[in-house]
Structure 1
């Protein structure tokens, strides 16, 4: 049985997607506007990427910078976008919202999940801003489709969050800890041995796949370096 880890790469367009797949990415996270840390991409962008590659795609559902779902009207707009993306063929998603007190916004999460019945999804790095990570995980434990947490362990990134990631990996299978840990946010190749040693087997890169910066496309060679390190 292979112990090959999953490598997810952020893609903004079809050019990114093709390079990421060529470099060995197992899955893509599709976003727009990285200046706002990643928002929902246009349906046309999803369609172009879906036509260009044949690896799984997880599509971001997020309308504004930060971790609030906004007003009821904002949420309705996001639900409509989710519906349109699902109709276009999107089957996997990325979402996550917090209330002002740092608790999970179950109203927003459940509204979207109800629209995407049967779809698998990632709760993204909003967990790293939560008031209580354990409470958030337990509150979300029974929400359908949740199979992954994208987390650095801390808002500041993996360097700061490494102890939390290792502790949460050790709780795998406990109530609230059944979903996979997908490590991302300041992740470097130097972090991999300790994370792999803890049994973590899913990793997410954005800027690491773009040595020339976000104004340039994904580098297939950079992705291949990560794929080799995770083989």
Structure 2
């Protein structure tokens, strides 16, 4: 049965999302900048307000997915606090200047993360998703989920690439789960799910009133999406 992950910005979002169908949450701040690491206070409030797993965006800046070794101390401190506050895991992605996975930084992050769940985020869509995905599969460092729109701005535009990614991921249960995300909403999820049959889906503004992050989560929309994904399983 497919699971639904929902982006939340605060504890009120989190409680609504949990009550109306979300299986897991991703907590971010500065969503208008693509999402950055939230404050420790926000993490604590959200984690303590729900029983479902909470993933935390780990992204110290918004101008690229390339990180310098000098930023490592800050990233490591964030991971330590995230773990101590009881979050399920982190959402992270790092690329080299050549748009390949930065395995040096990723290895340090995963070692520090220890038992936390890891989602490699849409940094993968900056390059060639299938090639990046396969390189992640071959890495000795365990990634649990990969959030991707198939190398295109939205899932609908990236369906062909996502088909290949989902198919590749299902060849081995040990491979990271492909989680389609970007542009998913009540109007397209039935077609997308029938096409991909992915194990997880990631929703952002598509579960908000008027499709706007400045508005609250729409309970009815989230419930309907949950019904569609579950009925199509």
TM-score by length of 1: 0.90
CA–CA distance in structure 2, aligned partners of residues 85 and 10 of structure 1? 17
With 82-91 and 159-168 compared, the bigger mean Cα shift is at 82-91
Q: Does residue 184 in structure 1 map to residue 189 in structure 2?
A: no
Q: Which residue of 2 aligns with 1:134?
A: 130
For CA contacts below 8 A with separation 6 or more, give which structure has more relative contact order. Answer: 1
Q: Give the superposition deviation at 1:177.
A: 8.4
Aligned position for 2:209: 211
Change (3 A) 1:198 1:214: closer
Unaligned runs of 5+ in 1: none
TM-score (norm 2): 0.89
Aligned to 2:197: 199
What is the count of residue pairs matched by the alignment?
Answer: 227
Q: State the SS of the aligned residue for 2:179.
A: strand
State the Cα RMSD in Å.
2.0
Residues 58-93 of structure 1, C-alpha deviations (whole Å, 9 max, x = no match): 111101114424322223211211111112222311
The 1:89/1:177 distance shift into structure 2, 3 A limit, reads closer
Query: Equivalent residue for 1:160?
Result: 157
Asked if 2 retains the 8 angstrom alpha-carbon contact of 1:140 and 1:176, the reply is no
Q: Distance in 2 between matches of 1:150 and 1:57?
A: 15
Q: C-alpha deviations, 1:189-215, integer Å up to 9, x for none?
A: 424334344331211111011124111
Deviant stretches of 4+, over 6 Å: none
